[in-house]
Structure 1
């Protein structure tokens, strides 16, 4: 290989462990790699920026706007209310959950679908008297399976299709072409999730149980009206820097003071709510002027318009990962107080301020009402959902938003417009019709995904232009002994392995030029390999870190890493067998 090829290969190889095992975002890792390759002269500026002009990237961006419109108008929420109902058995409940989720995920990005479903499923399972962990993992897996049915189903499908049309303009695919494989894959997967997966899931303790009794993680005291603390500030009363407790709110004359500041003046009969353990109550009892609260109902059980109780799932990109809650000044940055932390289905015991946050931890937060909208798109949290009294979205324009999406699908499916043009028109109509504000559309764009996709093109270009892709393709052909079926199986396994470690888009885009070079060297139809990359990149069931929706349900479901391997391992195998059996039949190697 040439020096440029060695440089390209070294940088690409270094990228994968950096994305898999560090807290650096995949977009930052990939953009850094592109800058390095550009600086070293392996690629030129046009190749480095080529991803930003790819049609697939812009189609993904416009689809995000359409999804935001449906979510803003309560379109997903409306479907949830219609389909969940009150089934009489767990199997009936799974059927009501899996089929609509898979259907919606064929046309919507999986993340907002799952994000909207998670709080609804938790409250629904509580009403049914069934544990939520029996539904949350199947929810994520069903959304992934549904995404394999159409090119709109996942951003990976759109991006790979964009690379295909750039390289082979005559091989453009229709919106539903992959359904010949996607529908059987989804059906087999859904039957497995409905029939066998419940038997493989062990009993787990989810959020409903971990956060159910506020008295387990809060202590309530009252200010003695005749004591020395009346009219003193929180700071002056010595309540700001307690060792094992946090003052999170004050109930005063039927109202609430949330996220209490150090200058707040105390009044007689104020009811103070502290987050911490019962063992730490000794510290409060030693403060003159505080007496145990004599009111029966916990303050957190009441609904106040001035505050919200919120559950937030910590992202692996959260700046507080690895830090102690007290040291990180969580309350100062977010304007929210941590009441409790749930990890692997169990509330983390001990000194709350000393807990070091980990990805997928679920935080019970006390916050002011604007917190949810302000931080819903924050990179620090995978999911933010209100615990009590969630507001119902207005549904007047939900049907219009769905109609716009269906119109986009029809235009693309019947060839009246390209997928890019149809998505662009749909996004414009969503904004013009008021289904989605311009601000919401901007917030709905997942810039990390878009930057990851764009930067991945630069790495792919480096592999191809330097000759590294051709070299790796030669090695792959040697391993496959010139057999296209073995090469197809190897392609699937490689992409499936990488997508469990890094993002599905990065795995697909970086391996695409190597796979295409292999197919060209073998002199066979590239289409089977293109479709294999699509399915392998989406088939991420083995770990919670391989796909964002898996990580979203990991904390709320109280799962352990082994649960995904137990349930997702067999599903990975089933999907691979069905896909690899059907792909060469639909797209022959000699085509």
Structure 2
């Protein structure tokens, strides 16, 4: 009994920590798992069991395949073609959302939204339309499409792996389509015809416009009288100025960005500062520094600018920018931070970052060569010059290879794990992907969360908490019939997924539905399908799903906007899912 109450308290603290974003989700889940191991509620072997789960391993391999297709630029080009010729709100919705939903059934939806967001914003700017009318529907369309196939989202693969561990056959490739296709079609109809009336017509501050940038940048010229000529920026004390942040040096018409503490200063250098520009006049007191402009006259023409959204899993979270070693880690310098459509006016280095913050960065030549970071999602338009015909050809070959493997899985010749392992091996042997790219394409934080969730799920089972929750659901819903039970499973899963990641929610719900199935003597498969669909259907908050977070800041949304449009969609998807499952499997 002590174990029971201890697990209840620990789980409550874990959920509250996730809800209030006290730490990164993977840190919270890993810490909870360690507490259960140290207290003997689960064994060390049970704690690491998730790391060998078939679904979790398949997700890791799928990251590599999806990453290879993403870097080819094929997705970006397809989205650009869809946007061409669109003339009205309903027209662009009808052209864009159905293909995106279909694509999300086979490719990770996060890179799709990352690629589409800047394109939609640019189209809106050209047409004089608010992007807030389109970006939430874009995110929702990818979430809906991910329910169509087994590889549409990591949640489906996790549930597949859990079914196999519990002695079931697992999900076939298109088994979820019976539910996924109806909810996608009805959901898209709702988004195309109703979302425009429910979403705000809100002007978004375009932080990359030259005039907007020049409002908070200033330039200072280094003359021959400067006492720190040919010395480092650190020695010149230009890294600890009150309210100002040195982001680049313009030398011989070439921008040096980001500026490190060891960069040497030369006569004729033009120093670009950002932050509280009202304090830049104080630099005139320093011998050898001459204020050239308070409006950044050479900026941003000589610099490469990137916008990015801070993720839920970022190592930057809840830290001051100056404490993150940002320049050396990412080869970039932050020059502005926007939160909820407003630029934060504090000194850049003193800003404490939160999920969903939009960073405007000056990046160096090494930025694109650095490993893809889990710290932020870049939402800047792809430079087509960076994509070569050879990469496009490799992308099409990767898509063809994936299609062949899907055919083999669908026909029952190969398992999903085997097919993805063979695909990854062939991509490596044909040099479509390098060992370094493989390491960078895998989202390790996602795998860590999923693996930890398996151990936490076992703690729920071992302590009797899962059985207790299942009995509570039965006592509450069973008097009203089977549909009431299915609705209660859907609702509890959906509450979990709005508080944590979708895959973790599915793992924690699984031992509960196992007990529900045993108690009611019904097949586990339809209950598992409800868990998979509900865990992916995060529409009411910007924090429940990564694609919602990407569009949150980019569209200038507020929290209530997601509730306003997401609540009806949640009800629609829930009703269609429960009715479909009820009449197809019972």
Q: Which of 421, 424, 431 pairs up with 1:424?
A: 421
- The reply to whether residue 249 of structure 1 matches residue 248 of structure 2 is yes
Q: State the partner residue of 2:81.
A: 82
Corresponding residue for 1:496? 494
* Alpha carbons of structure 1 residues 290 and 185: separation in structure 2 relative to 1, 3 Å: same
What does residue range 157-196 of structure 1 map to in structure 2 within 5 Å? 157-169=156-168, 171-196=169-194
Name the residue aligned to 2:520. 522
**Would the aligned equivalents of 2:147 and 2:153 in 1 still touch at CA under 8 Å?**
yes
Cα distance change on mapping 1:231 and 1:416 into 2, 3 Å: closer
Deviation for aligned residue 1:130: 3.1
Q: CA deviation at 1:488?
A: 0.7
Number of matched pairs: 581
Cα distance in 1, alignment partners of residues 30 and 8 from structure 2: 16
- Equivalent residue for 1:384? 378
Offset, 1:99: 1.8
Partner of 2:410: 413
Give the equivalent residue in structure 1 for 2:399: 402
Q: Is the 8 A contact 1:336 1:366 kept in 2?
A: yes
Once the two structures are TM-superposed, the CA of residue 229 in structure 1 deviates from its matched residue by 7.4
Which one of the candidate residues 459, 465, 476 is aligned to 2:473? Answer: 476
1:361 to 357, 362, 375: 357
Whole-angstrom CA distance in 1 between matches of 2:36 and 2:557:
40
1:552 corresponds to which of 543, 546, 550 = 550
Q: Which residue of 2 aligns with 1:565?
A: 563
Does structure 1 retain, via aligned residues, the 8 Å contact 2:214–2:296?
no
Could you tell me how far apart the structure 2 residues matched to 1:497 and 1:231 are? 60
Q: Residues of 1 paired with 2:177 and 2:161: CA distance? A: 18
Counterpart Cα distance in 2 of 1:266 and 1:438: 38
Q: How much does 1:415 deviate?
A: 1.7
SS in 2 for 1:403: helix
Matching residue of 1:138: 137
Alpha-carbon RMSD: 2.7
Q: In 2, distance between residues paired with 1:263 and 1:410?
A: 55
356, 370, 393: which one aligns with 2:387: 393
Shift in Å, 1:268:
4.5
CA contact (8 A) 2:542 2:549 kept: yes
Aligned to 1:311: 307
Seen in structure 2, the aligned counterparts of structure 1 residues 149 and 272 have a Cα distance that, compared at 3 Å, is: same
Unaligned runs of 5+ in 2: none
Question: Once the two structures are superposed, what CA deviation does each residue of 1:110-164 show, in whole Å capped at 9, x if it has no partner?
Answer: 2222223233333343344433333222221111010011111111111112212
Aligned counterpart, 1:95: 94
Q: How far off its partner does 1:95 sit?
A: 2.4
Q: Specify whether residues 418 and 237 from structure 1 end up closer, same or farther in structure 2 by C-alpha distance, changes over 3 A only.
A: closer
Aligned to 1:467: 464
Select the residue among 441, 444, 457 that pairs with 1:444: 441
Structure 2 matches for 1:268-307, cutoff 5 A? 268-293=267-292, 298-303=297-302
The CA deviation at 1:491 is: 0.6
Q: 1: distance between equivalents of 2:471 and 2:379? A: 50
Looking at structure 2, the residues matched to 295 and 25 of structure 1 have their Cα atoms a distance apart, in angstroms, of 39
User: Secondary structure of the residue that 1:339 maps to in structure 2?
Assistant: strand
Aligned-residue offset at 1:237: 5.4
Cα pair 2:253 2:302 within 8 Å, conserved: no
CA distance in 2 between partners of 1:489 and 1:153 (Å): 23
Question: 1:574 Cα deviation (Å)?
Answer: 1.5
Give 1:351 shift.
Answer: 3.7
Query: 1:207 deviation in Å?
Result: 5.3
Tell me, what secondary structure is at the counterpart of 2:554? coil
Q: Deviations over 1:175-219 (max 9, x none)?
A: 112211111101111122212112222133435356552211111
Q: Could you give the per-residue CA deviations for residues 39-86 of structure 1, whole angstroms, max 9, x where no partner exists?
A: 333233443232222211122111111101101222322322333323
Deviations 1:522-564 (A, max 9, x none): 1223333111111110110111110111112212222111111
Q: Secondary structure at the match of 1:301?
A: coil
Higher mean displacement: 357-366 or 367-376: 367-376
The counterpart of 1:454, out of the listed 451, 455, 464, is 451
Q: CA deviation at 1:226?
A: 7.3
Task: Give the Å deviation of 1:303.
Answer: 4.4
Deviations 1:309-331 (A, max 9, x none): 22222233444434443455544
Structure 1 unaligned residues grouped into runs of 5+: none
